[in-house]
Structure 1
Amino acid sequence: MRILQLTGGAGRMFCGSCLRDNTLAAALSARGHDVVLVPMYTPTRTDEPNVSLDRVFFNGVTVYFEQHSSMFRRAPAFLDRLWDAKWVLRLAESRQIEVDARSLGAMTVSVLRGERGFQRKEIVKLVEWVRAQRPFDVINLPYSLLLGLVGPLKRAFGVPIGCTLQGEDLFIDRIGEPWRSEALALIRDASVHADRFMPVSRFYMDRAPGYFGIPRDKMRLAPLGINLAGHARPRSAPNPGPFTVGYLARLAPEKGLHILCEAYRLLRASPAAGASRLVVAGYLAPEYRAYFERISASMRAWGLGGQFEYIGELDRDQKIAFLRSLDVLSVPATYDEPKGIFLLEAMANGVPVVQPRRGAFTEIVETTGGGILVEPDNPEALADGIATLWRDPALRSRLGEMGAAGVREHYSAEHMAKAVEAVYAEMADVRRPALNAEG
């Protein structure tokens, strides 16, 4: 199949959705498909070979200015080419602009309005580019916030269009009213024209129909998968040195670093506690620096500052080395996370996890057997779960081995590609009779 797969860039951040889309495109290509991965908003940043097109549609700078200025909506083509230049996007990324979902409500709704929105010119550019390419058999959108493209793409090319669902409800719930209700109404209306929706977890497959108002019979599960290259099997012996608790995710309140730090404080309160440390890795956005400073101050006030380390954002080799240095990983998110790639990466390296029993965490841990589930939003329960693994190295080793085997059996890139390939094939088969009838 010839596949056009759109993917949403996240600026300078490694984002789970970008990583998943890039891994999927590479895995589908390895299976013999002709995949064109096209970034939207910004170039994508991945920690493995980036297979995306060296061009960005719906340039984030242009989209922003078109939202706020009619002059940009009427700008001639030569000015559009200027704003679409790579150096403009690089300059915008280097500024590390704070992004608050509440300030993006109007723009979210405008993009969902498609040709009726302020970004109509961007749709025209995309359609013209697709028209200049060899025909595609299938087009896939990275999330429901781009469903405003479904109508124009369907009218222009008549090919099946799918849409991945990766957890955009968290963003939609934050943009506030009236934008939230408008966005959901536009998603429901546009969903009629999409052929299939692909939630990335069973949890999200159960949640999405009610939340988005999309019929369940249009849903097909497209489970997560990771590129296992470089991820090693469990260690034959425990790590030397102190017991190490790790965190690998964005540093943001919803990811629960403050809960993990409180659990670590409780863990250290035991008189029998030996040497330990808490090491944190991940992207820290400008808007969350104050949040992290409060956490750091608390750790110092508790006398734990010397055991607490933030090592920043990591590339692939650094990430794998970091994971291999851990005895346990925990990212106690305060919301129902639909993905959890960081769990798969930890378990792929034989590191057990301790996670709240919520969202996709539950199915990942239960499917692989690679960790312990505890009560959500409860530092005491989290501390108990971590302590269980600290006290029992044999259990830690056994869960690590089960997790590593479970990820390889259920969550490999090949497994993900086969599932998505089946959905694309179904979409193409469903569409062909209708096209033949029209002919």
Structure 2
Amino acid sequence: MKIVFLTAGAAGMYCGSCMHDNALAKSLRGAGVDCLLQPLYTPIRTDESSIAQDRVFFGGVNIFLMGKLPLFRFIPGPIKRLLDRPGFLSWATRRAASTDAKLLGDLTLSMLRGEQGHQAEEVRRLVAWLRDEIRPDAVILTNLLIAGPIPAIRRELPQTKLLAILQGDDAFLDHLPAPYREQAIERMGELGRQCDAIIVNSRFYGDAMSRLLGLDPRQVHVLPLTIDTAPYRDQPASPVTQQPNTVRRIGYFARISPEKGLHQLVDAFIDLARRPGCEDVVLDIAGWLGEQNRDYLDRQLAKLTAAGLGDRVHHRGSPDLAGKLAMLQEFDILSVPTQHEEPKGLSILEALAAGVPVVLPAKGAFPEIVEPSGGGLLVPPDDHHALADALHRLLQDPELRARLGQAGRQWVLAHRSVDNQATELIGVIDKLR
């Protein structure tokens, strides 16, 4: 079986979707599938070795210039190809993750229109490559926002099966102003209904996106989120701090942004820090920080300093794989109290695999992880007092922390390996052929 996996580069940031796409493509290869991981927009950045192709289609600089400067489409092809070189794209887009999505409305709709959009030339180039050089049995798209070429692929490769993964498309849509959002939703629904299968990582997200996009629930397949468990099998579980009044660490590990709820955890930590027996509890903050959210982080750090807790919070940046594994070994609890309804929860699985119990809001995909794993506690959403209570309970009960951490680790290692998901995905494609 030959598969082309179209993944969307995230302009130099560590992106959960990119990392998962890379791990899944690698696992598909390990299962004997001839799988090409093909970046669109920009090269991908992962915390493990990337197997992505060097070539980039729909290079971000080209796409922007085509959409904003109509005469750019008449520039000779060799010059445009220079702008698609991975090194240039990595340099030119290293700050692009801070671009406000409201500015991308025209470009989003143009991409979704495919051959009728400003990027028609790039659509033809991609489809010609698929038709003339690759001839895949299946094409997998990492989201429906890149689905504009689907009608052309369907026409030129009628036997090729088309699958799209939904993994956070709504978060981008919610940043688009009217009427772009409504038009994008309508077009994504049209393109989604042309796919042979839609893949989601949680029942919650499958139901929500089926309603939003008007998809046939019968074409939606739930393949639960997974991670590459190999690095976690090779290390012991995170040790449990047994003694009170010793340093215990509450960890936040996610993109640093309002929708991921860091401010909720900061408010809960301020509440928690005032309670007896929590005098030496510290808060560690890690994850990708885009330029547009630096002020947000600064406000949270200022709030902690004003509460007299500035020396008990540490910003640990965006670690690579080795740094992430070492950091998780130090956490006693992980909490990511998202404001939005999280469709995945990659860092949650990573924490559980390391033996770290979690405290999460009871919404989105989180109950589908916490309840079957037994690896943590669920709290009412948007209630920092309830969050503080749950954190306090775990901090005061090391045996409970150890029990939850062990249960979560065993569950992830047994049931949420990316190899399992690769096998399930191959099964879905086989049934379509």
What TM-score do you get using the length of structure 1 for normalisation?
0.95
Contact 1:244 1:279 in 2 (8 A): yes
Deviates more, 1:303-312 or 1:10-19: 10-19
Matched, 1:26 2:26: yes
| Alignment-derived partner of residue 391 in structure 2 | 386
In the TM superposition, residue 74 of structure 1 has moved relative to its aligned partner by 2.3
Q: Pick the aligned partner of 1:341 from 336, 339, 346.
A: 346
Matched, 1:234 2:237: yes
Aligned residues between the structures: 428
Alpha-carbon distance in 2 for matches of 1:68, 1:40: 19
Q: Pick the aligned partner of 2:256 from 241, 251, 258.
A: 251
**Alpha carbons of structure 1 residues 239 and 118: separation in structure 2 relative to 1, 3 Å:** farther
Alpha-carbon distance in 2 for matches of 1:356, 1:403: 17
**Alpha carbons of structure 1 residues 414 and 239: separation in structure 2 relative to 1, 3 Å:** farther
Alpha-carbon distance in 1 for matches of 2:397, 2:180: 50
| Alignment-derived partner of residue 396 in structure 1 | 401
Deviates more, 1:128-137 or 1:190-199: 128-137
| Alignment-derived partner of residue 80 in structure 2 | 80
Q: Pick the aligned partner of 1:292 from 267, 289, 297.
A: 297
Matched, 1:40 2:77: no
Contact 1:239 1:325 in 2 (8 A): no
Give the % identical residues.
39
Q: Pick the aligned partner of 2:318 from 286, 300, 313.
A: 313
In the TM superposition, residue 311 of structure 1 has moved relative to its aligned partner by 1.1
Contact 2:56 2:85 in 1 (8 A): no
The DSSP-based 3-state class of the residue aligned with 2:37 is strand
**Alpha carbons of structure 1 residues 267 and 422: separation in structure 2 relative to 1, 3 Å:** same
**Alpha carbons of structure 1 residues 46 and 239: separation in structure 2 relative to 1, 3 Å:** farther
In the TM superposition, residue 424 of structure 1 has moved relative to its aligned partner by 1.3
The DSSP-based 3-state class of the residue aligned with 1:351 is coil
Q: Which runs of 4+ in 1 moved over 4 A?
A: none
**Alpha carbons of structure 1 residues 242 and 117: separation in structure 2 relative to 1, 3 Å:** same
Alpha-carbon distance in 2 for matches of 1:421, 1:380: 45
In the TM superposition, residue 237 of structure 1 has moved relative to its aligned partner by 5.0
- Unaligned runs of at least 5 residues, structure 2: none
In the TM superposition, residue 238 of structure 1 has moved relative to its aligned partner by 3.1
Superposed CA deviations along residues 377-422 of structure 1, whole A, max 9, x for unmatched, are: 1110110111110011000000000000111122111111112111
Deviates more, 1:147-156 or 1:332-341: 147-156
Deviates more, 1:287-296 or 1:122-131: 122-131
Matched, 1:330 2:335: yes
In the TM superposition, residue 11 of structure 1 has moved relative to its aligned partner by 1.6
| Alignment-derived partner of residue 135 in structure 1 | 135
| Alignment-derived partner of residue 433 in structure 1 | none
| Alignment-derived partner of residue 64 in structure 2 | 64
Alpha-carbon distance in 2 for matches of 1:319, 1:83: 33
| Alignment-derived partner of residue 225 in structure 1 | 226
Superposed CA deviations along residues 357-389 of structure 1, whole A, max 9, x for unmatched, are: 010111111121100000111110110111110
Deviates more, 1:93-102 or 1:246-255: 93-102
In the TM superposition, residue 276 of structure 1 has moved relative to its aligned partner by 1.2
